[in-house]
């Protein structure tokens, strides 16, 4: 269900996978790579569909990825204590929920306009979100998408397509960083989850690209991760 809901708006669901596993007391060493692997499975299908629909323009957005992927690797490789990780995750979820709730109001009553040609700004934005993504084991799209709406980067469906691909490449980068420190994965735990998110992601991305008005799904998602963030903050403060 998480994969279906998130993929319908171009996200991978990493924030909610982490929140759910944290609330269920899944091991710290297991939940981080699990969330990134689930992200990769979900957004790979979504990115392919967005590309086929002509919604993904990599020529315009490449500066966001040029720095974000190596920074996601560094974020994944960076040693972080369990208590610190959960505090960062809780704060990231709360901030992301607020950005997600209000992002559509940024473009209300105005036509989408391209961001000004600021290469340094694009590189810095991608790098900062990439490093945070690697540290907290999310793809970063849930942060990138509201910022792009605020900057009037492009029309909403194209932003969703860009966020989907951003999540894919940064999840790969973050996972590579984590596996460089600890290459062991609990496939007995992970494999059934990958099958579940594959099914949900395929359904959600197909429905989302063609039919969904995304604002209602985003508001529901924002509420869910806000509550999850508060619960994690309460447990680890």
Mean pLDDT of 115-125: 77
Interhelix angle 141-150/82-102, nearest 10 degrees: 30
pTM for the model stands at: 0.86
pLDDT tens profile 12-59? 888 889 888 988 888 888 999 999 999 999 999 878 888 888 888 788
Domains in the chain: how many in total?
1
CB neighbours (10 Å) of residue 190?
15
Main-chain phi, psi angles of 105, to 5 degrees: -70, -15
CB 4 within 8 A of CB 200: yes
Burial call 42-68: b when 16+ CB within 10 Å, e when fewer? bbbbbbebbeeeebbeeeebebbbbbb
Confidence of residue 105 (pLDDT cuts 50, 70, 90): low
Q: How confident is the model at residue 104 (pLDDT cuts 50, 70, 90)?
A: low
Nearest in space to 175 (alpha carbons), one of 139, 129, 124: 139
Domain that holds residue 117: 2-236
């Amino acid at each position: 269900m998480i994969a279906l809901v998130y993929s319908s708006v171009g996200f991978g669901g990493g924030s909610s996978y982490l929140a759910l596993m944290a609330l269920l007391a899944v091991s710290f060493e297991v939940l981080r790579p699990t969330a990134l692997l689930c992200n990769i499975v979900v957004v790979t299908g979504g990115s392919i569909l967005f590309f086929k629909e002509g919604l993904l323009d990599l020529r315009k957005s490449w500066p966001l990825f040029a720095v974000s992927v190596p920074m996601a690797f560094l974020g994944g490789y960076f040693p972080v204590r369990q208590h610190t990780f959960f505090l960062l995750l809780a704060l990231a979820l709360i901030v992301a929920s607020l950005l997600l709730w209000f992002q559509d109001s940024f473009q209300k009553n105005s036509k989408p306009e391209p961001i000004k040609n600021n290469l340094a700004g694009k590189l810095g934005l991608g790098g900062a979100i990439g490093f945070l993504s690697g540290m907290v084991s999310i793809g970063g799209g849930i942060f990138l998408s509201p910022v792009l709406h605020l900057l009037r980067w492009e029309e909403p469906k194209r932003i969703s397509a860009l966020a989907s691909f951003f999540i894919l490449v940064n999840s790969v980068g973050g996972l590579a960083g984590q596996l460089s420190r600890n290459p062991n994965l609990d496939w007995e735990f992970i494999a059934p989850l990958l099958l579940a998110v594959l099914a949900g992601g395929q359904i959600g991305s197909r429905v989302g690209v063609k039919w969904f008005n995304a604002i209602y799904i985003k508001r529901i998602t924002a509420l869910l991760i806000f509550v999850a963030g508060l619960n994690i903050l309460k447990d680890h403060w």
